[in-house]
A and B are shown apart, each in its own frame.
Chain A
């Protein structure tokens, strides 16, 4: 296969951080090339260099054998390189149509609205997506937003498509659909750079894999010479994957009792329809379901972020149905939200401040009227090393961290005050396997100490491995329970699509 893109000795530093040290690799025409690496290894930075968003400090880039220097994304687009960014490049206030139109090439100043709407609608239909062109993007789920980004890319005629963790927010079914599209593009001779932390996907789709570690490309493997273990070994190196053991004994104490809970969404429809649930002390209750079937509403109602329309929530004896976010935290419910950038962190504050955001009133971090900066810093150091958070120089804003590391900051903060109940939405989304395993360990160990968890996840393997019980949600209801020791992925899959009811309660 002829090489389309050659990258040689790319180096990129930010004040106080070496994001890319020395990276070299090549992408062939018609190839799907995966870049694999831990959180903060420099994958997104590398892709931003390829598209001209970042200027490398040094190194060389050749396209079709001739050296190129991109000074802006405009240059790379002109050369046929397009990218879906890990953090979406969408305008929430604009409609789906406007977001897509903006990405199109050669739109005349006065465009024919109808004609472009039809053009875009056609591609939406080929993917069997349920997207209304006139809806504003902020109203859509993260999965739907991901598809908009993909459509933006596909409508441009690119030779090289870069996808930075596109599957992190897709359901397994959607991922399959995306992979079919990618294979089709490959047949048309397009090249694809793919990034994912999910080994199953990487092994399935890649022709070649380049492993990035601490800003260096350490090796490139061809199809056939890699499997999950080999890749994981390369990526993590000497560091060991944390091990944990599940505790099988559970108390019969009910810590959270949800009775006939209903929640309406912004459009007045029922997001949550008469859901009843009981959570035992130390239990890990998995919630399976295709995104958008009420999981998020459940989490937001429990944590006081969304008003409850009907029904009651009891924490022990206390009625917390109408408590606000802060009081629900005091009563011991912690929350790992889905959208980490907008509600999970304060982007301009540093890691230390983000870590104490929920416990700034704790006497530990106070000295009378003032903050105890020493204690706050020590707390940060402790969390950063325990959760292996890769941070920049002290005091730099948390928004500079890589996607996975931001997720770790949130988790570290939420678990810091030993909550009684943890409501976690997709907690390991975007985390590398080592980090994901560490989070699993923390949740299971918490359960051992009596922390109960509502674990909302898309990854069935994760649910099966961690949960004591799995509830399946469909159209805002719990349509049944499954016992993770006896059920299979397929059975849960059927329940998720609403085709099968109760298995064992």
Chain B
């Protein structure tokens, strides 16, 4: 029972984990991205279509990354060199994603593929309680584990990661050290978007191997909230994503065994949780213990004094 619940937790948390990590990469460079929801949908559709036509899940995942990368570069173009409003551009990206996937996804509705398979790691997968949840999963989940560490390592142990954090904190300081603020920001936004796309692909390739219109169902927004909850750090993003995954898993379980509580209320739980997360993290933000990048949301213009 616990084993199954934990397993469902990880699986439900993974798409959000990818999306949150992608968004963290964006915001660490100082760019707010409210287009996560749209990017997830684009990733989900591209991943599904890629797999459907090529027959290869790997190509599908790659398609998801590339499609979201390209869509993310619209946001990057508007916010970095053109210094447009990041909020507006992000919202537009979400609406674009919803619309464009509804349109091009029509042909995919009802099609099926063989979803990602579980790979049991020898030995480890036999561990009691956590064995199934952590070591008997599909490839993307293993990749997400590694990614959490990699992003931390990149940000805190490499020169380029330090440069990226500086670009997000104080772009002028980065600029005077000879770092190209535009290049760092552009690549952070697009690469982050690519990760969000993989999160979307997880929905259509592993969780429910099919394309359903608007299948992200608000998960992109939850990722946006989790960025704040995580304090812009990758391992806390993992915690947040699995907390959310856990609540989703639990409410599904409740629905399955049948309780007196209305399913509508059960389905609300993950979103209520999101609101709580936002309230708590906002209070923390106001207490000043925040990790928020100081240059977040501000376009950088070299000749403008700060």
| Interface residues in chain A, defined as those with a beta carbon under 8 Å from any beta carbon in chain B | 14, 51, 53-55, 72-74, 77-78, 83, 85, 87, 89-94, 98-99, 101-103, 107-111, 113, 152, 347, 399-400
Contacts and interface: CB of A to CB of B under 8 A. Distances in A.
Contact of B166 (A77, A91, A108): A91
8 contacts: A73-B178, A93-B294, A94-B169, A102-B174, A103-B177, A108-B159, A111-B159, A400-B305
Given A89-B170, A90-B173, A102-B166, A109 B302 contact: no
Contacts, number: 77
A98 B174 CA distance: 12
Nearest to A53: B302
B178 A77 contact: yes
B263 interface: no
B170 A53 contact: no
Contacts of A53: 175-176, 302-303
Interface in B213-263: none
Contact of A92 (B163, B172, B294, B303): B294
A91 B306 contact: no
B180 interface: yes
Given A77-B178, A94-B166, A110-B158, A89 B172 contact: yes
A14 B302 CA distance: 13
Contacts of A399: 305-306
A42 B302 CA distance: 17
A142 to B, nearest CB: 16
B166 A109 contact: no
Given A110-B158, A347-B306, A400-B305, A91 B169 contact: yes
Contact of A74 (B170, B180, B303, B306): B180
Interface string B269-306: 00000000000000000000001001000000011011
Nearest to B293: A93
Contacts of B174: 102
B121 interface: no
Contacts of A85: 176
Contacts of B306: 87, 347, 399
Contacts of A51: 176
Interface string B137-180: 00000000000000000000111101101100110111111111
Given A72-B180, A399-B305, A91 B170 contact: yes
A347 B304 CA distance: 12
Nearest to A348: B306
What are the 10 closest A-B residue pairs judged by CB atoms, nearest first? A74-B178, A89-B173, A91-B169, A89-B176, A77-B178, A107-B159, A73-B176, A91-B170, A103-B177, A399-B305
Given A91-B166, A399-B306, A109 B158 contact: yes
A83 B178 CA distance: 12
Interface residues of B, number: 25
Nearest to B306: A399
B176 A109 contact: no
Nearest to B174: A102
B85 to A, nearest CB: 16
Contacts of A94: 162, 165-166, 169
Given A72-B175, A72-B180, A74-B180, 16 more contacts: A53-B176, A73-B177, A74-B178, A83-B176, A89-B170, A89-B172, A90-B170, A91-B173, A94-B162, A101-B159, A102-B163, A102-B166, A107-B159, A111-B159, A399-B306, A400-B305
Contact of B177 (A92, A102, A347): A102
Nearest to B168: A91
Nearest to A152: B177
A207 to B, nearest CB: 26
Nearest to B181: A72
Contacts of A111: 158-159
B233 to A, nearest CB: 13
A51 B303 CA distance: 12
Contacts of B176: 51, 53, 73, 83, 85, 89
A72 B162 CA distance: 20
A158 B86 CA distance: 38
Contacts of A55: 303
Contacts of B177: 73, 77, 89, 102-103, 152
Nearest to A113: B157
B267 to A, nearest CB: 39
Contact of A98 (B162, B172, B175, B178): B162
Contacts of A347: 306
B152 to A, nearest CB: 14
A73 B160 contact: no
A480 B210 CA distance: 81
Contacts of B157: 110, 113
A107 B162 CA distance: 11
Contacts of B169: 91-94
B289 to A, nearest CB: 12
A109 B159 contact: yes
A399 B303 CA distance: 12
A173 B178 CA distance: 32
B278 to A, nearest CB: 22
B179 to A, nearest CB: 8
Contacts of B302: 53-54, 72
Nearest to A400: B305
Nearest to B292: A93
Contacts of A91: 165-166, 169-170, 173, 294
A52 B226 CA distance: 39
Nearest to A14: B303
Nearest to B182: A72
Nearest to A110: B158
A146 to B, nearest CB: 15
Contacts of A152: 177
Contacts of A73: 175-178
Nearest to A83: B176
A418 to B, nearest CB: 32
Contacts of B163: 102
A101 B161 CA distance: 12
Contacts of B158: 109-111
Nearest to B153: A110
B160 A109 contact: yes
A102 B174 CA distance: 8
A91 B165 CA distance: 9
A472 B160 CA distance: 47
User: By CB atoms of chain B within 10 A, which of A51, A89, A101 has the most?
Assistant: A89
Contacts of B159: 101, 107-111
Contacts of A108: 159
A440 B173 CA distance: 35
B81 to A, nearest CB: 14
Contacts of B180: 72, 74
Interface string B167-208: 001101111111110000000000000000000000000000
A14 B160 CA distance: 33
